[in-house]
Amino acid sequence: MLHSMEKQKNLSNTVLYLMSLSAGLIVANLYYNQPLLHMISVSFGVTESAVSNVALASQLGYAFGLLFVVPLGDMISNQKILKFDFALMLISLLAAGFSTSLWLLVVASFFIGCTSALPQLFVPMAAQLSNAKNRGRAIGIVMSGLLIGILASRAISGFVGEQFGWRTMYFVATVMMLILFIVLKLKLPQIKPVYEGSYKDLMKSLIHFFKTEPPLRLAAVRGGLSFAGLSAFWTTLVFLMEDNFGYGSGITGMFGLIGVVGALAATVVGKLSDRMSKNRIVIISTLVLILSWAVFLFSHHSIIGIIIGVILVDLGQQSLHIANQNIIFSRNENARNRVNTVYMVIFFLGGALGTVLGAYAWQHYQWMGVSTLGLILSIVSLIAHLGFGDKKI
């Protein structure tokens, strides 16, 4: 058991909300570039296809950080990781702002993405510093901050870019990250892991946990299937809006703000998971997902139906995500960063698969195909849980 757990069984609200705010501000770095891509393409005189490599590089960097950096949380002090991660983050943000070519911006974006994986250390950290009866609440609050950061980042960056130019957003982000680092350095409790093996053994243990932990595998499958459906939805929503309603990407982007409902619900679900059976929360969350896809199935010409579906699908997906993380963090107390890595890698692989399947479903069967795909994925998730889930959790 970690040394700091003996000293602090109850995580203070001040530190908890600081971690939530930090998660949102840091993960926002990953998404600032998306509304700026057109301005960047004009600035460098390149095609929109070429400039899309900026967004791709940041996503690949995030995947790299998730797989190779986050597990270090079980091996190296969180304060030491914080110091090196923020140093690289600040350099990368400045490099992006001062980029003189698209190639330099792509490289800088990779490292921005890599350092933006840091919030995935905050979630297990919140679980580590909380006692068992408050763990779900702590996870929910940190996840709410992270989700709101994702949702708000595009709106902030679009406004700053339009008013002051795309480079300004990177400079503003640099200043925010410098201030945040100073605050975290002063306020964030230090965690000293007890793992003493090599980095090679640390990475090998990821395979060990996947093989020997059925609850982790099942949580990862549930998370991956639910995120696959969500990714299929967001990948094809813009096509539905343009073809069936005549709306452009601007209106489509506004639907993301409706996702704030799901983000805020994460806190409520976190509290409920401390008092209710996690098995029940998983079943209810999955049923909400099934209901959301049923609503989508009959809403290809109804904006109200799409709005209701967005609220339900975000609520169901985030509720399930919180329950999954609460389950995996209740085990292997000295390896929470590694089990989170296993879970999140499969979670994002599910998202990638959903993007591909969603595009295929739209191309051949339009919105009916996408809705049916999401419905099937949710039903498979429920069947998997009912067949292999632990009814006692």
Would you give the end-to-end CA distance of the chain in angstroms?
22
SS3 191: coil
* pLDDT value at 88 more than 60: yes
Q: Which two tokens stand for residue 297?
A: 């199935």
- CA 24 – CA 156 distance, rounded (Å): 13
The answer to which of 80-94, 287-301, 307-321 has the lowest mean pLDDT is 307-321
Q: Domain spanning 3-195 has what CATH number? A: 1.20.1250.20
* Other CB atoms within 10 A of residue 210 CB: 17
Provide the pLDDT for residue 247.
77
**Residue (of 134, 121, 184) closest to 8 by Cα position:** 134
- Its sign, for the CA torsion 64, 125, 89, 52, is positive
How many of the other CB atoms lie within 10 Å of CB of 37?
17
For residue 150, which of 34, 289, 310 has the smallest C-alpha distance? Answer: 34
pLDDT of residue 5: 40
**Does residue 98 sit in helix, strand or coil?**
coil
Residue 256 has a pLDDT of 66
Residue pointed to by tokens 């209701």: 308
Give the other-Cβ count within 10 Å of 133's Cβ.
10
Confidence class for position 13, pLDDT limits 50, 70, 90: confident
Separation of alpha carbons 102 and 346, rounded Å:
31
pLDDT digits (tens, 9 = 90+) for 25-71: 999 998 888 778 878 888 999 886 788 788 888 888 988 998 899 99
Question: How confident is the model at residue 291, as a pLDDT?
Answer: 97
More confident of the two residues 364 and 158:
364
Q: Where in the chain is the domain with CATH 1.20.1250.20?
A: 3-195, 204-388
Tens of pLDDT along 93-111? 999 999 999 999 999 999 9
CA-based nearest residue to 92, from 71, 116, 67, 120: 116
Cα-trace Rg, the chain:
20
Q: Which two tokens stand for residue 299?
A: 């809403």
Structure tokens at 70: 């986050």
Residues 6+ away with beta carbon under 8 Å from 363: none
DSSP 190: P
Q: Give the CA count within 13 Å in the CB-facing half-sphere of 199.
A: 7
323-364 tens-digit pLDDT: 898 889 887 777 888 999 999 989 888 887 887 888 889 889
Count of beta carbons in the 10 Å neighbourhood of residue 215: 18
Task: Report whether CATH 3.40.1350.10 matches the domain 204-388.
Answer: no
Count of Cβ atoms closer than 10 Å to residue 365 Cβ: 13
Structure tokens at 227: 């995120």
Alpha-helical (H) ranges within the chain are 3-7, 13-28, 37-44, 48-68, 78-97, 102-115, 119-129, 135-164, 166-187, 199-212, 214-240, 249-258, 260-273, 278-297, 303-329, 336-388
The better pLDDT of the pair 7, 80 is held by: 80
Per the CB < 8 A criterion, the answer to whether 349 and 220 are in contact is no
What is the distance between the alpha carbons of residues 4 and 188, in angstroms, rounded to a whole number? 12
Give CA 79 to chain center in angstroms: 22
